[in-house]
A and B are shown apart, each in its own frame.
Chain A
Amino acid sequence: AQSVSQHNHHVILSEAASLELGCNYSYGGTVNLFWYVQYPGQHLQLLLKYFSGDPLVKGIKGFEAEFIKSKFSFNLRKPSVQWSDTAEYFCAVNAASGAGSYQLTFGKGTKLSVIP
């Protein structure tokens, strides 16, 4: 079974600081990778996804992530965070689990607090 590890439980940054959130997964086969964000009081929404091709993917709101297959990693980055980026961030992995079905395995999340 696949698993996802997010290295940081809580990250606190000042506005304009650079952000990198770590995500490692364990699965030997082909995976699809996702980052979701949950803003305070809102539902989970997709930030970006990787299926294949260029391992550097760009998402909404200036976020990007790099898939490094040899390291089983999919770290999320943003060059300059804003107060509005305060949220909880979840990394997720999808590996095919039979007959067109799939499930997402989520990391436990990283809370980001941005100080104005």
Chain B
Amino acid sequence: KAGVTQTPRYLIKTRGQQVTLSCSPISGHRSVSWYQQTPGQGLQFLFEYFSETQRNKGNFPGRFSGRQFSNSRSEMNVSTLELGDSALYLCASSLADRRGGELFFGEGSRLTVL
């Protein structure tokens, strides 16, 4: 079956702009999580959505937001971009086993902020 699909794969923005990233989970997966990956900080949890509800949120400012649609597809938005937002943004989907099951990651959206 198809894996997790993220679009766009690469994008360049300037400071102050906003960006929307999209994620299509594996069919049947209802949980979608977002992570920010940078060389210095590694992978940091942004938020998790399940059945269109944000269940958990990491330690990021309010400029980072997300949503999930009824078909489990998810988007994340970053407003008022800063240079430090340059990163690889990873989406992961899961069957949402309550014990914390396997996350299936997409290839990521690489954002460069100039």
Contact = CB atoms under 8 A, between A and B. Distances in A.
Interface in A49-78: 49, 51
B103 interface: yes
Could you say which interface size class chain B belongs to? 20 to 34
A100 B45 contact: no
B48 A46 contact: no
B50 interface: yes
Contact of A101 (B55, B92, B108): B55
B55 A104 contact: no
Interface in A101-116: 101-109
A18 interface: no
Given A90-B42, A106-B43, A100 B98 contact: yes
Contact of A109 (B42, B56, B100, B102): B42
A93 to B, nearest CB: 9
Contacts of A90: 42-43
A104 B100 contact: yes
A103 B58 contact: yes
Given A104-B45, A108-B41, A97 B103 contact: no
Interface residues of A, number: 26
Contacts of B55: 98-101
Contacts of A102: 48, 56, 98, 100
A97 B103 CA distance: 16
A108 B96 contact: no
Given A101-B48, A103-B56, A105-B45, A96 B102 contact: no
Nearest to A44: B105
A43 B42 contact: no
Interface string B1-39: 001100000000000000000000000000001010000
B66 interface: no
A94 interface: yes
Interface of A: 32, 34, 36, 42-46, 49, 51, 90, 94, 96-109
